[in-house]
Amino acid sequence: MIKKMDKKTRDELIAKADKLLKYETDKVITWCSGCGNYGIQNALMRALVLEGLERKDFALFFDIGCSGNGSDKFEANTFHGLHGRIISTAAGAALANEKMKVLAFAGDGATFSEGVNHLVHGVRNNFPMIFVHHNNENYGLTIGQASATTRCGAKMNGTPGTVVIEPINTLQFVLSLDPTFVARGFSGDVDHLTELFRKAIQHKGFAYLEILQSCPTYNRTTPEDWYASRVKYVEDLKGYDRHDIWAARKLAQDMDKEIYLGLIYENTGRKDFLSLQSNRSGVKTALVEEVKHYDVKELI
């Protein structure tokens, strides 16, 4: 059951339609028809507009893969980096200019294979940024190889027979790292995803957002309707406490029958990385505003 945007929000969005259109590209989009990236990009644009962020207020950092190929199809300050490194690059950017919201996007390969160490330390350090994992359970841009989230039994390019190694339970992994914000959305539910993006933008610290993303070309194991018939919402769970790590971990265990979406876990008690830097407490400027000669006499 898809979550619909409330009327008030929809009206607000309609009123700000010109701002939305500003981010639209006139270039040819290279995603396949039915790709989950359309919905994700749409939700992102809406969230930015609803949160009142202008172009000067945010920067988007894209990893390599199908998601990354949208980097120049979003009319704003974007960065298209190297495979597996976008968390680090975006973290450096976020620390340099805390006055801009930094959002980073990556697929399965970057998040759980080539760059998994950066994910571990990004969460651990609680860098002030949003990280979005496009989980489409395969490597799309290299034409359908298995990823760390591909399910057993799937027949994938480059894997003899079928996939025989169990996938990583992504949220369990992240929840084990003492995160401060863990949410899951679905590319087929743009309204709900918009809300999750908004919450992530409001979060101070490392916001981890996983998006279950349909890949009509290469992921035939869990297509759009497979997810649509299984997703549930934590908002509908009576008495669910999103501050309870064990409740979150219990919820995250099921990847097959009832797949929960929403803000699954939040810890507002842990400070973000910048707030923990004692030598910068009370500093009002961002690092980008501080480049000048510094007297070194006292350091000698």
Give me the least distance between CB of 3 and another protein, in Å please: 32
For residue 109, give the nearest of 158, 58, 60 by alpha carbon.
Answer: 158
Answer for the pair 71, 77: CB distance below 8 angstroms, yes or no.
no
> 162: helix, coil or strand?
coil
Please say whether the dihedral angle defined by the alpha carbons of residues 252, 254, 255 and 259, taken in this order, is positive or negative: negative
CB of 68 vs another protein, minimal distance in Å: 9
Our CA dihedral for 156, 158, 160, 162, rounded to 10 degrees, sits at -20
Cβ proximity to another protein, 22 vs 230, nearer residue: 22
CB of 283 to another protein, least distance (A): 6
Backbone angles phi, psi at 135, to 5 degrees: -95, 95
Q: Of 41, 46, 159, 156, which is closest to residue 105 (Cα–Cα)?
A: 41
Q: How far is the CB of 108 from another protein (least distance, A)?
A: 19
Using CB under 8 A, list all residues that contact another protein.
Answer: 27, 55-57, 59, 61, 64, 69, 71-72, 75-82, 85, 88-97, 99-100, 117-118, 120-121, 277-280, 283, 286-288, 290-300
Give me the least distance between CB of 29 and another protein, in Å please.
12
Q: How far is the CB of 80 from another protein (least distance, A)?
A: 5
Residue 43 or 129: the one with the smaller Cβ distance to another protein is 129
Cβ-based nearer residue to another protein, 13 or 286: 286
**φ and ψ at 114, to 5 degrees?**
-65, -25
Burial label for 162, CB within 10 Å (0-12, 13-18, 19+), is middle
Q: Which is nearer to another protein, 129 or 252 (CB)?
A: 129
Cβ atoms < 10 Å from Cβ of 12: 14
